[in-house]
Amino acid sequence: MSAKLYIRSFSFATYTHLHDYSQLVIPIRGAADNFTEMGSGRIGPGQCIVFPKGCEHKFVPDEGSSFLVADMEELPPSLACLSHPVISIPPALQLFCGYVEKQLEYPISKHLYESMGEMFMTILEEQTFIPRLDPRIARVLEYFEKDISVTPSLGNLRISPPASACG
């Protein structure tokens, strides 16, 4: 099993379509709003949206965003059974996506391109995927991943509310 990998940049527009193959869209820079019958959500770096084969979706990228897009005949089992299409990207996959982005900036051989698609699928198959985390929970996990022996104060974990458009 292999994936065809592309780096895509979009102008601000809405794209509604479906494919006869499955697709992963992983932000490299910027973000996008996504709408499907499986669920909707905004994705940014560190996240991904999964579009199963035949799933109509609406994709609304921010201006200047770029994405690693992976087209594949079948989803690996770890992604085929998701209850929501937006997931967090494990670190191993995120690092590989950075590598692929750099490689695709230059002409590469067909063999290297196909090998990257096979390696991408192997990494996908070995990962455990979790739904995108609430930013408050992600902040707590970030503190514990840095140093579990430190007990952060509630002030350190508080996320500032977005600035009000009225204020």
- The amino acid at residue 74 is E
| Residue 106, helix vs strand vs coil | coil
pLDDT (tens digit per residue) in 6-52:
999 876 677 788 899 999 999 999 999 888 888 888 898 889 999 99
**Mean pLDDT confidence for 54-63:** 89
**Cα separation, 58 vs 52, whole angstroms:** 13
Cα torsion angle, 130, 131, 132, 138, sign: negative
Residue 13 belongs to a domain = yes
Q: What is the CATH number of the domain that holds 61?
A: 2.60.120.10
pLDDT (tens digit per residue) in 59-79:
889 888 999 999 999 998 888
Residue 167 belongs to a domain = no
Do residues 67 and 107 both lie within one domain?
yes
**Cα separation, 64 vs 123, whole angstroms:** 28
Question: Among the residues of the chain, which ranges form H helices?
Answer: 77-80, 91-103, 110-125, 135-146, 154-157
Give residue 164's pLDDT.
30
Residue 137 domain boundaries: 133-159
- Answer yes or no: are the C-beta atoms of 79 and 124 closer than 8 Å: yes
Q: Are strands 32-36 and 57-61 parallel, antiparallel or unpaired?
A: antiparallel
Cα torsion angle, 119, 70, 103, 95, sign: negative
